[in-house]
Structure 1
Amino acid sequence: MPGHFEPLPGGGAAVALDEVEISIIRSLAVQLLELIGPGPAEDAPGDPLAELFAEGPSEPPSDPVLRRLFPDAYTDPVEPPADPRRAEENQAHSAEFRRFTENDLRAGKRDNALAVIRSLDALAPVDEAGAVLELSPEQSQRWLAALNDLRLAIGSRLEIGDEDDTDLLYRLPDEDPRKPMVMAYLWLGGLQETLVSTLMP
């Protein structure tokens, strides 16, 4: 079980994590929460309907990580349409789609990151040997989504665009300042992959 998820009887998954691994995942999840930011109801905490009826932004985020987490729905940055009129239409559709969906997407990503933090905080006292994290099927799905978001965020910072870029990461010299981030990216990928396999019927 060390370093990878295994299925639990009756559903869910378990993984053995040491103190450093717990600290890394928790820190990354907290950073993701800070990056995503608070929900619209934070501006009016006394109004329970504020978040329900708040409209989201219509422009893509300026931060490249947030653009990766919340991409345009109708535009293709790699192959934009040749027709300028079609490009304008796509941009308008993307803005409208973003306005009505981004708040919910952000709330979902916040909830997933919080679920990761809370499940780590609920672990039995962690000694030098670490602890075994056991997740219910619902928690497993939240972890899977959060791990994916964390990898997208780190991959964006590392400017990973395709599989060729990932292959280059394996050959980085140890003195490269990106090495710790690369190691986290690859490790989270392994966790994600084993968690996916435990959840497959």
Structure 2
Amino acid sequence: MRKWKRVETRNGPRFRSSLAPHEAALLKNLVTAMIGLFDQRQSSSPSDELEEITGIRTGHSQRPGDPTLSRLLPDFYRPDDDNPLAIDDPESLNAALRSLHEPEVIDAKRGAAQRLLDTVPANGGRLELTEDTANAWITAVNDLRLTLGVMLEIGPEGPKRLPADNPMAVHFDVYQWLTVLQEYLVLVLMGRPQ
């Protein structure tokens, strides 16, 4: 991947770069798999009589059992033990919030991922993004990094380099590549040098 370049046009800024064929194929495969996770989660949500009457979609009330989906769709509320006004039953609050808002969150994440898919050159090559599409790329790439982070067990202190003979070393390299891709795109959106 080449660094991103910001170009001012009559229709607003555009962000240009290029991908090698193997990079484009990798992004497509990863994003397609992630969209599949979102689709599976959404299609497995229980039916709701109120949804049928009002048209207001509802989702699962329970957090995902799958660690990857759990990381992509975290709880909405985390209790703060030092807060005297903390809610007594955070599980109940999270269940209600998840049921109400998870479909919207999934739609937003799926939408960002689809925009990335729609703008990745089929066989690699040059690409040009609008500011909105560049932000969708950042969202989708971040979700990919979270997905790989679960697999690689990356904690708050960040990733640790894996030995070359470790079977997960290739996944770590992909994680690092996605990190650089995201960082360069964020920097160019902010108008900073890469």
Q: TM-score range by the shorter chain?
A: 0.7 to 0.9
1:34 to 30, 33, 36: 36
Deviations 1:140-195 (A, max 9, x none): 111110011100111011111122x41x2x2x211110011101100000010011
Q: 1:155 to 1:135 in 2, by over 3 A?
A: same
Q: Secondary structure at the match of 1:11?
A: strand
- For 2:6, the equivalent position in structure 1 comes to 7
- Tell me the distance in 1 between the aligned counterparts of 2:144 and 2:2: 17
Q: Secondary structure at the match of 1:7?
A: strand
Deviations 1:43-70 (A, max 9, x none): 99xxxx8995121111100011111111
- Mind listing any 5+ residue stretches in structure 1 that lack a counterpart? none
- Tell me the distance in 2 between the aligned counterparts of 1:87 and 1:138: 37
Please state which structure has a larger fraction of its residues in helix.
1
1:184 aligns with 2:162: no
Is the 2:71–2:150 contact (alpha carbons within 8 Å) kept by the matching residues of 1?
yes
- Tell me the distance in 1 between the aligned counterparts of 2:187 and 2:179: 12
Give the share of equivalent positions with the same residue, in percent: 29
If asked which structure has higher relative contact order (CA below 8 Å, sep 6+), I would say 1
The aligned runs of 1:1-201 (5 Å cut-off) are: 2-9=1-8, 10-37=12-39, 39=42, 52-75=55-78, 81=81, 89-120=89-120, 123=121, 126=123, 130-163=124-157, 165-166=158-159, 168=160, 170=161, 172-201=162-191
Q: 1:19 to 1:54 in 2, by over 3 A?
A: same
Is the 1:12–1:136 contact (alpha carbons within 8 Å) kept by the matching residues of 2?
yes
Runs of 4+, deviation exceeding 6 Å: none
Q: Secondary structure at the match of 2:89?
A: helix
Is the 2:76–2:97 contact (alpha carbons within 8 Å) kept by the matching residues of 1?
yes
Aligned residues: 181
Is the 2:46–2:59 contact (alpha carbons within 8 Å) kept by the matching residues of 1?
no
Q: TM-score, normalised by structure 1?
A: 0.80
- Tell me the distance in 1 between the aligned counterparts of 2:153 and 2:99: 27
- Tell me the distance in 2 between the aligned counterparts of 1:158 and 1:102: 25
| Backbone CA RMSD of aligned residues | 2.8
Amino acid at match of 2:57: A
Is the 1:12–1:138 contact (alpha carbons within 8 Å) kept by the matching residues of 2?
no
Q: TM-score, normalised by structure 2?
A: 0.82
- Tell me the distance in 1 between the aligned counterparts of 2:61 and 2:25: 36
Q: 1:136 to 1:52 in 2, by over 3 A?
A: farther
Q: 1:142 to 1:51 in 2, by over 3 A?
A: farther
- Mind listing any 5+ residue stretches in structure 2 that lack a counterpart? none
- Tell me the distance in 2 between the aligned counterparts of 1:193 and 1:144: 9
